[in-house]
Amino acid sequence: GAGVSQSPSNKVTEKGKDVELRCDPISGHTALYWYRQSLGQGLEFLIYFQGNSAPDKSGLPSDRFSAERTGGSVSTLTIQRTQQEDSAVYLCASSLVGGRMDTQYFGPGTRLTVL
């Protein structure tokens, strides 16, 4: 019954390696969002999944970033060939139905550090 969960909570990797970040939304929530927050900055939208619709990938910063959502539930954000500028907190949020009147609930985030 808990909220949105994310794993790992912290990830340290070397430049050039691939990383996978996981998000478990609130049960029953059809919409799932990924954001990135760099130190002292606001939230940068990355990607949005709504039900079975094609995801809105307009926020992905480069083709090194990809995300999938299996079975309408768990989502994985993959960053290939990580760069130091990818270091940030990656936040996942879910909402009941998505769209302009829906409340998003955030997970605790994954802090990614690329050395």
Partner 1 sequence: QKEVEQNSGPLSVPEGAIASLNCTYSDRGSQSFFWYRQYSGKSPELIMFIYSNGDKEDGRFTAQLNKASQYVSLLIRDSQPSDSATYLCAIIRDDKIIFGKGTRLHILP
**Count of residues that interact with partner 1, criterion CB under 8 A:** 22
**Nearest-approach distance from CB 106 to partner 1, in angstroms:** 4
Binding map of partner 1 across residues 49-88, x = CB under 8 A, - = no contact: -x-----x-x------------------------------
Q: Is 71 helix (H, G, I), strand (E, B) or coil?
A: helix
If the CB atoms of residues 77 and 91 are measured against partner 1, the closer one turns out to be 91
Report yes or no: 34 and 43 within 8 Å, Cβ to Cβ.
Answer: no
The verdict on 104 binding partner 1 (CB under 8 A) reads yes
Residue ranges of E strands in 18-104: 19-24, 31-37, 43-50, 65-69, 75-79, 88-95
Residue 106 interacts with partner 1 (CB under 8 A): yes or no: yes
Residue-level length of the chain: 115
Provide, rounded to whole angstroms, the least separation between the CB of residue 109 and partner 1: 5
Cβ neighbours of residue 5 closer than 8 Å, sequence gap 6 or more: 23, 24, 107, 108
**Footprint on this chain of partner 1 (rule: CB under 8 A):** 33, 35, 41-43, 45, 48, 50, 56, 58, 91, 98-101, 103-109
